[in-house]
Structure 1
Amino acid sequence: MSYRDYVIAAYAVFALMLLWDWLIPKLQIRAALRAATLRQARRKATPSPNPELPLSRD
């Protein structure tokens, strides 16, 4: 491998790492927001417990 090929490969790896460092946090934030939205929707969808019934059978 010549010096030019080495430099091109090094810049390509550097560009891939920059892309990775930019993309992965955005995907993680999107997944966390989606999970929070789904969790909130599940909480709203579940009926509140009946206040006349005890929560535990102690």
Structure 2
Amino acid sequence: MSYLEYVVAAYAVFVVVLGWDYVATRLQIRRELRNARQRAARERSRQSAASSDGRPPELIR
């Protein structure tokens, strides 16, 4: 392997790792946002159910 091939391979690995880091971060952000939305929806439904039947709402940890 010549020096040029080594440098090209090193840059290729760098670009692949940089791309994976970008994609993985975006996926993690999307997953956390989805979890937060689902948690908020559960809270809203829990509060509306508690207010509609006249009982006090459950305690939240």
Question: 2:32 corresponds to which letter in structure 1?
Answer: A
- Match in the other structure for 1:14: 14
Identity, % of aligned positions: 48
More helix by share: 2
For structure 1, the 5+ residue unaligned runs are: none
For structure 2, the 5+ residue unaligned runs are: none
1:39 deviates by 0.7
Within 1, Cα distance between the matches of 2:23 and 2:50? 40
Task: List, as ranges, runs of 4+ consecutive aligned residues in structure 1 with deviation greater than 3 Å.
Answer: none
Structure 1 length-normalised TM = 0.68
Equivalent pairs, count: 52
Which structure has more RCO (C-alpha within 8 Å, separation ≥ 6)? 2
Within 2, Cα distance between the matches of 1:45 and 1:31? 21
1:24 deviates by 1.9
Q: Which structure: larger Rg?
A: 1
Q: CA RMSD in A?
A: 1.9
- Match in the other structure for 1:48: 50
